[in-house]
Amino acid sequence: MPLKIRQLKAALLKAGFSVSPGKGSHTVWTHPALPEEEITLSGKDGSDAKPYQVKDVQKLIELLEGK
**4-22 pLDDT, tens digit each:** 999 999 999 999 999 999 9
Enumerate the β-bridge partners of residue 21: 27
Under 8 Å between Cβ of 27 and 21: yes
Domain 5-66 has CATH 3.30.920.30: yes
State how far Cα 22 lies from the chain centre: 13
The Cα 19–Cα 1 span in angstroms is 26
Whether the model clears a pTM of 0.85, i.e. scores above it, the answer is yes
- The helix or strand, by DSSP H or E, that contains position 63, with its residue range, turns out to be helix 51-66
Q: 7-61, pLDDT tens digit by residue?
A: 999 999 999 999 999 999 999 999 999 999 999 999 999 999 999 999 999 999 9
In the chain, domain spans: 5-66
Question: What does the pLDDT read at residue 1?
Answer: 86
